[in-house]
């Protein structure tokens, strides 16, 4: 995956000096054991580093400052083994910018019923030590995740793993650069937005380059690089006869490969983690980038069509969250419906740009007319998507703030689509089509989404909490009346939230 770093999570244990050196040494040993177990867990994708036991306000403050200053630290796991009076944490946590998760666990799993005495009780007292910590986190209005259970419990690892993936994506966004080739598709509202607000809120920047800058880089592609890429295409895909060497459309494949060489070089050299383009602004390009965009997404770049920079950034974040997991993640658009009574379905696709990580089987490489944009027929990968549970996520700009909208869906088998020249997924919405679509539309969710069979609702939930952004979830439990009321209350909450923290 391109431009991906592997940050660490810091495991931080809180205690105090009330208990003497003996118990504190035990606390330190237990904390190190837990950190090592989490580090060894396959469910947690990042390295966990034990940062010892903090027992004074000065130590806590110093560690929080260190965490903020250390680029390789993506977040903190906090646990109070004993009792760490929480006023000691005010100074440190008040200015901490890195996300943290509160792990509410206990070192000893089972009560030693026959031998338990007050020493055991005083050592294993996170039951109330973590409540003291939780009060302060709530008092400070800190948005965090609370994970509860024994530290060896696979469910605890899974909850921490989801949070770690969100923290990874959040770290990836900080300082990330996204490039837009040209502006927004003319007159489209939802793909537009405030890039200054986004950079303040999310930490990534979005800047433009004229399509001519990209065209120059494409023109500079060497024949050797183009040929090497064509060899790759022939190896990895079922390439249509006409596109193969000697075929009557082979020139289209050469043009497509040239676009990929140039676009890839542009992104690599600029350190970009994603991009947008638009079919309305292609001067100097022979085709709308289709195949190139699909393959770049597969390598981890974010993408949004028609200048949709919010979705480009979101797709990148989701790809980071999904890194190493089975399944795939793609830019997606709700395209067309199947409205058979009792079996309402959505056909999701785009003009070209669907990521082959969601493909079921080997994609076909084909060329077809686009119908808009007035350019040559673009080459593209065509495939059906894997079936199974998936999510669609949209990031919108409401003017005064951002909102994430998520719908849990089930990608399903469907009849063959022999005349459809684009990659596609067919899904059914939870709780049902009518409720989900009405809720999505009430929430202002876009037609563009990040679609994933790897990222979970929990990861997006954790991510939204880190970003301090609203998340409206549409799932099996959604009821429209309550959903609409929640949106209204949420408007009020977000209007007041800054004040509540004072």
What residues make contact with Mn ion under the rule CB under 5 A? 305-306, 333
- Residue 277 or 333 with smaller CB distance to Mn ion: 333
User: Which value, in Å, is the radius of gyration of the alpha carbons in the chain?
Assistant: 25
Sequence-distant (≥ 6) Cβ neighbours of residue 68 within 8 angstroms: 95, 96, 97, 98
- Residue 306 or 377 with smaller CB distance to Mn ion: 306
Q: How far is the CB of 313 from Mn ion (least distance, A)?
A: 16
User: CA-to-CA distance for 339 and 356, rounded, in angstroms?
Assistant: 27
DSSP 36: H
Q: How far is the CB of 280 from Mn ion (least distance, A)?
A: 12
- Residue 288 or 291 with smaller CB distance to Mn ion: 288
The answer to whether the beta carbons of residues 330 and 391 sit under 8 Å apart is: no
Q: How far is the CB of 305 from Mn ion (least distance, A)?
A: 4
Buried b (16+ CB within 10 A) or exposed e, 241-273: eebeeeeebbebbbbbbbbbbbbbbbbeebebb
In 3-state terms, what secondary structure has residue 99? coil
Q: How far is the CB of 191 from Mn ion (least distance, A)?
A: 8
- Residue 81 or 350 with smaller CB distance to Mn ion: 350
Q: How far is the CB of 370 from Mn ion (least distance, A)?
A: 13
Q: How far is the CB of 333 from Mn ion (least distance, A)?
A: 5
- Residue 267 or 332 with smaller CB distance to Mn ion: 332
The answer to whether the beta carbons of residues 233 and 239 sit under 8 Å apart is: yes
Q: How far is the CB of 350 from Mn ion (least distance, A)?
A: 6
Q: Could you identify the residue written with the tokens 């409720």?
A: 435
Instruction: Tell me the β-bridge partners of 473.
Output: 406
Instruction: Return the sign of the alpha-carbon dihedral for residues 321, 62, 146, 150.
Output: positive
Residue 441 — left, alpha, or beta (φ > 0 → left; ψ -120 to 50 → alpha)? alpha
User: CA-to-CA distance for 67 and 75, rounded, in angstroms?
Assistant: 8
- Residue 285, token pair as written in the block: 């390009």
- Residue 132 or 277 with smaller CB distance to Mn ion: 277
- Residue 333 or 397 with smaller CB distance to Mn ion: 333
Q: How far is the CB of 279 from Mn ion (least distance, A)?
A: 9
User: CA-to-CA distance for 379 and 257, rounded, in angstroms?
Assistant: 9
- Residue 255 or 306 with smaller CB distance to Mn ion: 306
Q: How far is the CB of 373 from Mn ion (least distance, A)?
A: 12
Residue nearest to Mn ion (CB): 305
Q: How is 193-212 classified by DSSP, letter by letter?
A: --HHHHHHHHS-EEEEE-HH
Sequence-distant (≥ 6) Cβ neighbours of residue 96 within 8 angstroms: 64, 67, 68, 76
- Residue 7 or 304 with smaller CB distance to Mn ion: 304
- Residue 305 or 378 with smaller CB distance to Mn ion: 305
Q: How far is the CB of 283 from Mn ion (least distance, A)?
A: 20
Q: How far is the CB of 378 from Mn ion (least distance, A)?
A: 15
Sequence-distant (≥ 6) Cβ neighbours of residue 57 within 8 angstroms: 87, 88, 89, 90, 91, 92
- Residue 145 or 368 with smaller CB distance to Mn ion: 368
The backbone torsions φ and ψ at residue 388, rounded to the nearest 5 degrees and listed phi first, read: 125, 180
């Amino acid at each position: 995956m391109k431009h991906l770093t592997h940050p660490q999570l810091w495991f931080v244990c809180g205690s105090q000096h009330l208990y003497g050196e003996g118990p504190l040494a035990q606390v330190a040993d237990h904390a190190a054991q837990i950190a090592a177990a989490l580090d060894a867990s396959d469910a947690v994708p990042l390295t966990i580093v034990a940062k010892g036991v903090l027992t004074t306000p000065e130590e806590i403050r110093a560690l929080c400052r260190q965490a903020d200053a250390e680029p390789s630290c993506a977040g903190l796991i906090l646990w109070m083994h004993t009792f760490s009076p929480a006023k000691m944490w005010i100074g440190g946590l008040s200015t901490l910018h890195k996300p943290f998760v509160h792990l509410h666990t206990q070192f000893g799993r089972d009560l030693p019923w026959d031998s338990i005495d007050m020493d055991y009780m005083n050592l294993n007292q996170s039951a109330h030590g973590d409540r003291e910590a939780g009060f302060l986190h709530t008092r400070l209005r800190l948005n965090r995740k609370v994970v509860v259970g024994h530290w060896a419990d696979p469910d605890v690892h899974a909850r921490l793993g989801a949070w770690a993936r969100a923290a990874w994506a959040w770290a990836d966004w900080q300082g990330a650069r996204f490039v837009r080739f040209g502006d927004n598709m003319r007159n489209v509202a939802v793909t537009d937005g405030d890039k200054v607000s986004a950079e303040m809120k999310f930490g990534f920047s979005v800047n433009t380059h004229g399509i001519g800058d990209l065209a120059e880089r494409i023109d500079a592609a060497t024949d050797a690089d183009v040929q090497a890429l064509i060899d790759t295409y022939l190896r990895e895909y079922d390439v249509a006869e006409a596109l193969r060497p000697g075929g009557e459309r082979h020139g289209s494949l050469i043009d497509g490969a040239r676009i990929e060489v140039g676009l890839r070089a542009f992104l690599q050299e600029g350190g970009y983690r994603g991009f947008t383009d638009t079919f309305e602004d292609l001067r100097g390009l022979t085709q709308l980038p289709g195949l190139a965009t699909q393959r770049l997404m597969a390598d981890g770049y974010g993408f949004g069509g028609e200048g949709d920079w919010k979705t480009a950034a979101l797709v990148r974040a989701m790809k980071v969250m999904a890194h190493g997991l089975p399944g795939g993640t793609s830019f997606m658009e709700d395209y067309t419906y199947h409205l058979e009574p009792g079996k309402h379905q959505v056909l999701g696709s785009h003009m070209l740009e669907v990521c082959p990580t969601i493909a079921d089987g080997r994609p076909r490489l084909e060329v077809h007319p686009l119908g808009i944009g007035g350019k040559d027929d673009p080459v593209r990968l065509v495939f059906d998507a894997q079936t199974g549970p998936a999510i669609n996520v949209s990031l919108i700009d409401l003017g005064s703030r951002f909102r994430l909208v998520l719908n849990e869906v089930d990608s399903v088998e469907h009849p063959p689509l022999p005349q459809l020249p684009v990659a596609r997924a067919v899904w059914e919405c939870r709780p049902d089509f009518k409720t989900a679509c009405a809720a999505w539309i009430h929430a202002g969710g876009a037609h563009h989404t990040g679609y994933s069979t790897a990222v979970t609702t929990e990861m997006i939930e954790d991510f939204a909490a880190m970003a301090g952004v609203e998340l409206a979830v549409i799932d099996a439990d959604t009821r429209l009346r309550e959903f609409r009321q929640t949106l209204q209350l949420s408007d009020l909450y977000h209007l007041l939230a800054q004040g509540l923290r004072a």
